DNA sequence: CTGAAAGCGCTTACAG
DNA sequence: CTGAAAGCGCTTACAG
């Protein structure tokens, strides 16, 4: 067995020695220190030496000195991530990397207080998709860490940065169905209690849109993701008076389950009931009939979330949320 | 505007003072230092003081001292993540957290050498889903960092830890179709060149299974994720001699596109062509007909990946990969 | 069993 | 314009 020989790290001192300057100067050059005028020649010498030695500053050391890391902690609710959220996280990771920040995700569990995690990790910022107690937010801020909330925030929260206007999703769904002439709508969500807060925001937006458009309030029902559950609900709609003609689905999964339930009863969209989903799952285009849905543009959302963080960390006010730009209506055949 | 007052951190010194011992003892107690016998009373005093002060050790300081962080760097190929991979990452994050490790993901881009990232971050381990040069692996190991590869590794790699046997997926697909009496098979993948290495591994497994079962080699075709592209291929199958009766789809998206293509030509599964997918996407159960597919059990896979890391970091040999346990055949109607 | 001290690799006031 | 020095908060060999 050959022992693995580990080489000593290249440090700023090595670069300094190679460039014939002090560590101080190396740091100034490498960090583009403002208020510091370095002659071009010195700067070049340092950069050249750093390149030659393949120097990478150790982030742990920098963090210890600065008091915080270059990490952004994303706190997630403790349930399986929707596809849409996975995509947002994926994009956000890339956007933050572009800003020199690393994303770390954690599910919010009662067993591990958020504040402890923050103290241990010393992140540059915290973004929470989970409800946070105002006192929790205050404690984190007291430690000097920037905190933002996203996607699902309650109105009385200390935080004012909602990124994806969930209510807008519900409103868009209603507007599209209304434009197709539907005046009796029904909302279908999942029985899963873990998505209820998100459901409530979307439903709220739908209700307000109905009010604006002078439609009756939508009826509401929750289903499981099974053919039987969906078929049972569809059967109920057929008997109800007034009979709904437009179906607002919580997401594409629900929408496709409803389409399957309709099919099992010999019904089809949009003739019997028009159905609109949310998420634009890849498979939705192949649903029978192809699903009309609302796409959450994860690139736009992630970029905005990254902006909130970078501005927030710098103590500046983040740019206004791009509201409708975050959504796209995808019209196919189901509505 | 009220200025935000930031409180000084609670450090090990504070705990030491409160407990009436030295920092050394605090560290010994909190880290359960082996070879160190601390009387129960001292231990209790320290633990109590730490709890009372809500002390959380700063990971940056610990990392600087130890020479590496508690971070695991997961290197991803630079293309959109499949749903299956997102789920694996989600589970892996939780499994590693249980072991006191933090997962950070990075897409492998030529612009940023992996070695630089490793030097800067000083992770406890690197897991790569991207092809790594042997020299790159050697350089990283020279720095004392444990490296493992997963999912897609080439046979001549320095790394020997393949976690999800992609070839097995292809083999299972063939075995299921063969058991249904299909003897002429065809493989359908995506035109997208970014998935070709994964495709090749699965296809390879399918071919070997055909050999074992004494079937003809499957024909191979790539499609785009559009109805037209799928329909064109289905039309071609109808004319070809020998005519395939079983379709091995690269994943559920391809499978559902094929089903849609068939439907557009008045054909249906499994009567005209039996179709089997991979991934068990949530919407696959509502495909027409419901899709038979292979589920990659992300929990099992993630746990094994986490084991590889924890054993590897400790310098021990990781347990054998749970091969077939990582897969489940989901039989529905399409095959 | 316990503690004083060194040192991990940075950044940044401060002095020149 | 540049550098010597302090110090961020830990862990751990070493001495008692």
Give the pLDDT confidence of A237-286 residue by residue, as tens digits: 999 999 999 999 999 999 999 999 999 999 999 999 999 999 999 899 99
Closest residue by Cα to residue B128 from B90, B93, B77, B85: B77
pLDDT at A322: 60
Closest residue by C-alpha to C1' distance, nucleotide D6: A65
The sign of the CA dihedral B71, B76, B79, B85 is: negative
pLDDT at B1: 31
The sign of the CA dihedral B112, B114, B116, B119 is: positive
pLDDT at A294: 96
Q: Is the CB of residue B24 inside 7 Å of nucleic acid strand D? A: yes
Q: Which helix (H) or strand (E) segment is A127 a member of?
A: strand A125-128
Distance separating alpha carbons of residues A319 and A317, to the nearest angstrom: 7
Residue position matching structure tokens 């873990």: A194
Phi first, then psi: what are they for B183, rounded to 5°? Answer: -120, -15
pLDDT at A170: 94
Tell me B245's DSSP state. -
**Which pLDDT band, with edges at 50, 70 and 90, does B321 fall under?**
low
Give the pLDDT confidence of A40-82 residue by residue, as tens digits: 888 999 999 999 999 999 999 999 999 999 999 999 988 888 8
Tell me A285's DSSP state. G
Distance separating alpha carbons of residues B332 and B334, to the nearest angstrom: 6
Distance separating alpha carbons of residues B326 and A228, to the nearest angstrom: 29
3-state secondary structure of A296: strand
Q: Which helix (H) or strand (E) segment is A106 a member of?
A: strand A102-107
- Tell me how close the Cα of B58 comes to any Cα of chain A, in angstroms: 5
- Residue A34 CB burial class (10 angstroms; 0-12, 13-18, ≥19): exposed
pLDDT at A1: 31
What is the full DSSP assignment across A161-225?
---S-HHHHHHHHHHHHHHTT--SEEEEEES-GGGHHHHHHHHHHHHHHHHHTTPPPPEEEEE-S
Q: Which whole number is the average pLDDT over B41-51? A: 91
Q: Is the pLDDT of residue B137 over 80?
A: yes
Closest residue by Cα to residue A29 from A18, A41, B119, A101: A41
**Which pLDDT band, with edges at 50, 70 and 90, does A214 fall under?**
very high
Q: Which whole number is the average pLDDT over A1-11? A: 64
Nearest to A119 among B56, B107, B252 (CB): B56
Distance separating alpha carbons of residues B173 and B171, to the nearest angstrom: 5
Task: For chain B, say whether A63 makes contact (Cβ under 8 Å).
Answer: yes
| CA count, 13 A, side-chain hemisphere, A38 | 21
**Which pLDDT band, with edges at 50, 70 and 90, does B133 fall under?**
confident
Give the pLDDT confidence of A154-184 residue by residue, as tens digits: 545 445 455 667 888 999 999 999 999 999 9
Residue position matching structure tokens 């594409």: A252
pLDDT at A5: 54
Strands (E), chain B: 71-76, 102-107, 125-128, 146-149, 185-190, 219-223, 246-249, 274-278, 292-296, 327-330
Distance separating alpha carbons of residues A94 and B104, to the nearest angstrom: 11
Do residues B165 and B321 lie in contact, with contact meaning Cβ atoms separated by under 8 Å?
Answer: yes
Which nucleotide comes closest to B23 if you measure CA to C1'? C3
What residues 115-174 of chain B have any CB closer than 8 A to a CB of chain A? 115-116, 119-122, 141-144
Q: Which whole number is the average pLDDT over A113-142? A: 90
Q: Which whole number is the average pLDDT over B113-127? A: 94
Closest residue by Cα to residue B106 from B135, B126, B92, B88: B126
Higher pLDDT, A238 or B129: A238
Q: Is the CB of residue A153 inside 7 Å of nucleic acid strand C? A: no
Higher pLDDT, A172 or B324: A172
Tokens representing A89 are 């996280």
pLDDT at B223: 97
Q: Is the CB of residue A37 inside 7 Å of nucleic acid strand D? A: yes
pLDDT at B257: 97
Query: Which residues in chain B are contacts of A88 at CB distance < 8 A?
Result: none
Distance from the Cα of residue B333 to its chain's centroid: 28
**Which pLDDT band, with edges at 50, 70 and 90, does A3 fall under?**
very low
Q: Is the CB of residue B17 inside 7 Å of nucleic acid strand C? A: no
Tokens representing B64 are 């600087």
Distance separating alpha carbons of residues B162 and B129, to the nearest angstrom: 10
β pairing state of B71-76 and A102-107: unpaired
CB atoms B60 and A282 under 8 Å: no
Q: Is the CB of residue B28 inside 7 Å of nucleic acid strand D? A: yes
Query: CA-CA distances (angstroms) from residue A95 to A148, B112, B115, B128?
Result: 16, 15, 21, 21
**Which pLDDT band, with edges at 50, 70 and 90, does A318 fall under?**
confident
Q: Is the CB of residue A38 inside 7 Å of nucleic acid strand D? A: yes
pLDDT at A158: 47
Residues 6+ apart with CB under 8 A from B135: none
Tokens representing B17 are 């003072």
Nearest CA in chain A to B70: A121
Tell me A290's DSSP state. P
Tokens representing B37 are 């016998």
Tokens representing B156 are 């001549």
Distance from the Cα of residue B255 to its chain's centroid: 22
pTM value? 0.86
pLDDT at B322: 60
Nearest to B60 among A9, A117, A122 (CB): A122
Distance separating alpha carbons of residues A120 and A133, to the nearest angstrom: 20
Strands (E), A269-319: 274-278, 292-296
pLDDT at B163: 61
Q: Is the pLDDT of residue A153 over 60?
A: no
Task: For chain A, say whether B217 makes contact (Cβ under 8 Å).
Answer: no
| CA count, 13 A, side-chain hemisphere, B67 | 8
Query: Which residues in chain B are contacts of A282 at CB distance < 8 A?
Result: 225, 253, 281
Tokens representing B187 are 């493989």
- Tell me how crowded residue B286 is: count the other CB atoms within 10 A of its CB: 25
Do residues A51 and B48 lie in contact, with contact meaning Cβ atoms separated by under 8 Å?
Answer: no
Do residues B146 and B125 lie in contact, with contact meaning Cβ atoms separated by under 8 Å?
Answer: yes
Tokens representing B109 are 């881009």
Choose from B34-43, B234-243, B300-309 the range with maximum mean pLDDT: B234-243
Q: Is the pLDDT of residue A216 over 50?
A: yes
């Amino acid at each position: 067995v050959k022992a693995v020989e580990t080489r000593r790290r290249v440090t700023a001192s090595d670069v300094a020695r190679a460039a014939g300057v002090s560590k101080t100067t190396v740091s100034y050059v490498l960090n583009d220190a403002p208020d510091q005028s370095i002659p071009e020649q010195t700067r070049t010498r340092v950069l050249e030496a750093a390149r030659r030695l393949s120097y990478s500053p150790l982030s742990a050391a920098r963090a210890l000195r600065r008091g915080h890391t270059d990490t952004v902690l994303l706190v997630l609710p403790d349930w399986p991530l929707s596809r849409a959220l996975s995509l947002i996280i994926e994009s956000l990771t890339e956007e933050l990397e572009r800003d020199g920040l690393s994303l770390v995700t954690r599910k919010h569990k009662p067993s591990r207080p958020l504040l402890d995690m923050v103290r241990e990790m010393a992140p540059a910022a915290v973004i929470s998709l989970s409800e946070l107690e105002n006192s929790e937010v205050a404690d984190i801020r007291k430690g000097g860490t920037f905190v933002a909330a996203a996607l699902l925030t309650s109105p009385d929260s200390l935080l004012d940065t909602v990124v994806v206007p969930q209510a807008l999703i519900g409103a868009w769904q209603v507007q599209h169905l209304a434009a197709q002439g539907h005046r009796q709508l029904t909302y279908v969500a999942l029985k899963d209690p873990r998505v209820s807060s998100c459901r409530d925001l979307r439903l709220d937006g739908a209700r307000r849109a109905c009010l604006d458009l002078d439609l009756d309030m939508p009826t509401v029902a929750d289903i499981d993701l099974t053919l039987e559950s969906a078929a049972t609900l569809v059967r109920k709609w057929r008997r109800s008076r007034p009979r709904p003609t437009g179906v607002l689905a919580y997401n594409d999964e629900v929408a496709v389950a409803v389409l399957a339930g309709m099919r099992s009863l010999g019904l089809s969209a949009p003739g019997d009931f028009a159905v609109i989903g949310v998420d634009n799952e890849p498979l939705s285009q192949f649903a029978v009939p192809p699903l009309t849905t609302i796409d959450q543009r994860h690139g736009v959302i992630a970029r905005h979330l990254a902006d909130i963080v970078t501005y927030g960390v710098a103590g500046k006010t983040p740019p206004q949320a791009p509201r409708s730009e975050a959504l796209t209506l995808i019209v196919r055949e189901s509505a």
